[in-house]
Amino acid sequence: MLSPRQLFLQHQAQTTDFPLLLEVEKAKGVFMYGPNGERYLDLISGIGVSNVGHRHPKVLQAIHDQLDKYLHLMVYGEIVQTPPAQLAHALAQTLPAGLDNVYFVSSGSEAVEGACKLAKRYTGRTELIAFNNAYHGSTHGSLSLNGSESFKRAFRPLLPDVRHIQHNVLEDLHFITSRTAAVILETVQGEAGVRVPSLEYMQALRERCTEVGALLILDEIQSGFGRTGTFWAFEQFNVVPDILTCAKGMGGGMPIGAFISRQEIMHSLKNDPMLGHITTFGGHPVSCAASLATLRVIQEEDLLTQVNAKANLFKERLVHPAIKGIRNQGLMMAVEFESFDLLKAIIDNAILKGILTDWFLFCDNSMRVAPPLTITLAEIDEACDLIMKAIEEEVG
Ligand code: PMP
């Protein structure tokens, strides 16, 4: 009888040369537990997914309640179901007036696909503009928007009429013109290693898009649902997107995504020719029920107001000559080291000590620190003690 690890290696497609290979039997709150009593404090949150912790009781209850009613009924958008209807309403209440029409899908990449198709349909234009080092997904369209050549090279030709401009560089805004259907930006770049644009830049970008009639798509798949200390990161930049994408933390551990826009824009997707976007599982009722519970937990447990104090404790505690700097927006943090080799050794060492972290797709000298927002100050202290120990051991 092969062990799960052997089966995993033999029969599951491998996605990386460095799989973590941890065996996890159970997870709860900020911890994952292995079959032999191992305990890992999770500083990754499944890449920004478990914002309310693993298996939050209220999320579990909402899932159980929905399991007792119905699962999938019909392709998205045909049948009135309570969970997506209530979730769409609750999402609209977190957003500026007018941004209140939600298209539910199944993942982040699909949300990006839908958002870009919507922008093309609404504007009648074809050009899409994205940014250096952006990450928007892995399907052909979203892959085309990624700003790192290494991921795209093998899959060309990709989507035509996509232009990349420099992130946070005012001089490049003139590339956005009356040919541009949409500009897509992660409000805070995630896989680039947490890159935060300036307020001035965000406002100039918003103004430029409005001036030339291009839609501004903000991708909050990683930065949304409280990760940065406000429900949406864009609230901290005084801008409002035309289209917003979200996923990941939205489902509290269940798969779901959405693109959200004004009714006037969204309705262009259903106009002739019919069927602007089809998704079988989009807005799955169990995922929607979990998402609504997640949203309520963030609000009711007052998680947002604690985010910056928690981030600051990490910053106070993670001080060492080997640490070159820390970039963060709330609990979306990148701790920079001199090299990938040193970082990898520290990460491997920390895992042995029960601290789970990793690096970023496009920034391999920085450690990802993005724990569940429910992490306590005592747990942050414990995590920092062990990371500092790992650094000492690896740097010598
Ligand atoms: N956009 C951003 C900003 C992301 O971080 C990700 C996932 N890392 C995606 C899109 C794609 O999401 P998914 O993996 O659910 O397709």
Mean pLDDT of 302-310: 98
The closest residue, in CA terms, to atom 12 on ligand 1 is 108
Q: Which of 300, 319, 336 is the last residue of a domain?
A: 300
Query: What are the beta bridge partners of residue 131?
Result: 165
Interval 371-380 mean pLDDT: 98
Question: 206 and 112: one domain?
Answer: yes
186 within ligand 1 shell (Cβ under 6 A): yes
In sign, the C-alpha dihedral spanning 235, 237, 242, 245 is negative
Kindly state the DSSP code that residue 99 receives in the 8-state scheme.
Answer: -
Both 46 and 177 in one domain: the answer is no
| Closest alpha carbon to 117 in 272, 244, 269 | 269
Amino acid sitting at position 75: V
Interaxial angle between packed helices 377-395 and 340-352, expressed in degrees from 0 to 180 and rounded to the nearest 10: 120
Three-state DSSP at 89 gives helix
pLDDT value of residue 117: 96
Average pLDDT over residues 282-292: 98
Q: Amino acid letter at 53?
A: G
Helices (H), the chain: 4-11, 45-48, 57-67, 82-93, 108-123, 140-145, 149-152, 199-212, 263-266, 285-300, 307-317, 340-352, 377-395
Instruction: Tell whether ligand 1 has an atom less than 6 A from the beta carbon of residue 247.
Output: yes
Phi and psi dihedrals of 30, rounded to 5?
-95, 5
Is 110 in the same domain as 176? yes
If asked whether residues 186 and 235 sit together in one domain, one would say: yes
24: left (phi over 0), alpha (psi -120 to 50) or beta: beta
Total number of domains constituting the chain = 2
Residues in Cβ contact with 388 at an 8 Å cutoff, skipping those fewer than 6 apart: 317, 318, 320
Residue pair 147/189 in contact (Cβ under 8 Å)? The answer is: no
- CA 109 to ligand 1: nearest atom: 16
- Among 92-106, 275-289, 341-355, where is mean pLDDT lowest? 275-289
Ligand 1 center from residue 112 Cα (angstroms): 9
Q: Is the pLDDT of residue 197 over 70?
A: yes
pLDDT digits (tens, 9 = 90+) for 113-162: 999 999 999 999 999 999 999 999 999 999 999 999 988 999 999 999 99
Whether 205 and 308 map to the same domain: the answer is no
Instruction: Looking at the structure, tell me whether residues 114 and 220 fall in a common domain.
Output: yes
The residue to mutate among 248, 256, 332, having the most atoms of ligand 1 within 8 angstroms of its beta carbon, is: 248
- Cβ of residue 84 lying under 6 Å from some atom of ligand 1: no
- Per DSSP, the three-state class of 206 is helix
Pair 212, 360 in one domain: no
Judge if 98 and 121 occupy the same domain: yes
Domain boundary (237, 271, 300) is at 300
Q: Are residues 243 and 255 part of one domain? A: yes
Express each pLDDT in 237-286 by its tens digit: 999 999 999 999 999 999 999 999 999 999 988 866 556 899 999 999 99
- Based on the fold, state whether residues 173 and 103 are members of the same structural domain: yes
What's the distance, CA 98 to chain centroid? 23
Q: Which domain holds residue 381?
A: 4-55+302-395
Radius of gyration for the chain, computed over Cα atoms and rounded to the nearest angstrom: 21
109 lines ligand 1 (CB under 6 A): yes
74 Cβ contact list (under 8 Å, min separation 6): none
Average per-residue pLDDT in the chain? 96
SS3 363: strand
Going by C-beta distance under 8 Å and a sequence separation of 6 or more, which residues neighbour residue 70? Answer: 81, 285
C-beta 219 within 6 A of ligand 1 = yes
Shared-domain flag, residues 308 and 381 = yes
Q: Which of 52, 191, 70, 208 is nearest to 132 (CA)?
A: 191
Protein residue whose Cα sits closest to atom 13 of ligand 1: 108
For residues 233 and 275, state if they share a domain: yes
Q: In what order do the strands lie in the sheet with 325-329?
A: 325-329, 332-336, 363-369, 358-360
Of the residues 264, 280, 300, the one at which a domain ends:
300
| Residue 57, CB-side half-sphere exposure with 13 Å CA sphere | 1
Q: Cβ atoms within 10 A of the Cβ of 280, count?
A: 10
**Bridge partners, 102 (sequence order):** 260
Torsion of CA 94, 82, 45, 330, to 10 degrees: 0
CATH code where residue 18 lies: 3.90.1150.10
**What is the model's pTM?**
0.97
Q: Which atom of ligand 1 is nearest to the CA of 134?
A: 3
Q: What mean pLDDT do residues 63-86 have? A: 96
